Amino acid sequence: MNIYEAIVLAIIEGLTEFLPVSSTGHMIIGSSLMGIQSNEFVKLFTVSIQLGTILSVVVLYFKHFFKSLDFYFKLLVAFTPAVIFGLLFSDLIDDLLESPLAVAISLILGGFILLFSDKWFKKADFDDSAEISYVSSFKIGFFQCIAMIPGVSRSGATIIGGMSQKLTRKAAAEFSFFLAVPTMFAATAKKLYDFYKDGHQITGQEINLLVVGNCVGFVVAMLAIKSFIGYLQKHGFKLFGWYRIVVGSIILLFLLSGFDLQII
């Protein structure tokens, strides 16, 4: 991987991580078109640049992280199901991560769900994610577990989960952003631990790629979050639904044509 490929992947990550479109699906298309060969560092890179994107959430919503301990307890409760499911089904998740077909199908099915989600969740009682109960936080955490299936979209699953708990689209999206912080931090820490445990080392050039990737991801994610919230409040999910269906169909066409899609 060179610096230009790292920048492109960071842009893809920053744009798609917090939108309900699946960053995994976009990474597959982007890396395959650029001919990036998967190796241990590339896998580490695609996970580690999430630190930059979650930092954008902390910066944009700085005040929320200093409101009360209740805020952190609710995030912990929502985060718990992902920890449990991740430990119980890690082998199955790893197998699914190796399947571009699973990503394509998840994108398309999730797209159809988004097309109808605005009709399904019309009534909302809470415009502030801080108002939800611990039980509701726990339920949203189970929606996040669905996103362990590649192509589902962690953001999409948790936003739908929030709306099912009577949050407005804006409040559900913001809770999804907050929940991403412990989830993505834990994923990055585990990936780094596994990388070094297996005896791998990071070179000076690779450190530069990680720094650039996180910086680019941070800036792009900030812009994406601001734009997404504004659009979501006005227009809902229909555009994202159709977009997912198109991207999933493109991946299917690649697979049918024999194009070598790289899972990274």
pLDDT of residue 264: 60
As a whole number of angstroms, the distance between CA 191 and CA 43 comes to 9
Instruction: Record the pTM.
Output: 0.86
Side chain identity at residue 25, one-letter code: G
Read off the pLDDT band of 88 (50, 70, 90): confident
Average pLDDT, integer, range 173-200: 87
Percent of the chain with pLDDT over 70: 95
What pLDDT, in 10s, does the model give residues 104-130? 899 999 999 999 887 888 777 777 888
SS3 259: coil
The answer, yes or no, to whether residue 97 has pLDDT greater than 70, is no
What pLDDT is attached to residue 98? Answer: 65
Tell me the torsion sign for CA atoms 99, 32, 115, 158. Answer: positive
3-class DSSP string for 80-138 = HHHHHHHHHCHHHHHHHHCCHHHHHHHHHHHHHHHHHHHHHCCCCCECCHHHCCHHHHH
Kindly state the average pLDDT of the residues 90-96: 68
Strand ranges, E, within the chain: none
Which neighbouring-strand residues pair with 181? none
> What share of the chain has pLDDT > 90, as a percent?
35
Q: Residue 81: what residue type?
A: P
* Environment class of 159 (CB within 10 Å of its CB; exposed 0-12, middle 13-18, buried 19+): buried
pLDDT band for position 95 (cuts 50, 70, 90): low
Query: Could you tell me if 198 and 40 are in contact, meaning their C-beta atoms sit under 8 angstroms apart?
Result: yes
Q: What is the CA 60 to chain-centroid distance, rounded?
A: 17
Q: Where are the domains of the chain?
A: 3-256
Looking at residue 186, what is its pLDDT?
Answer: 86
User: Can you give the pLDDT at residue 137?
Assistant: 93
Is 94's pLDDT higher than 70? no
Q: Average per-residue pLDDT in the chain?
A: 87
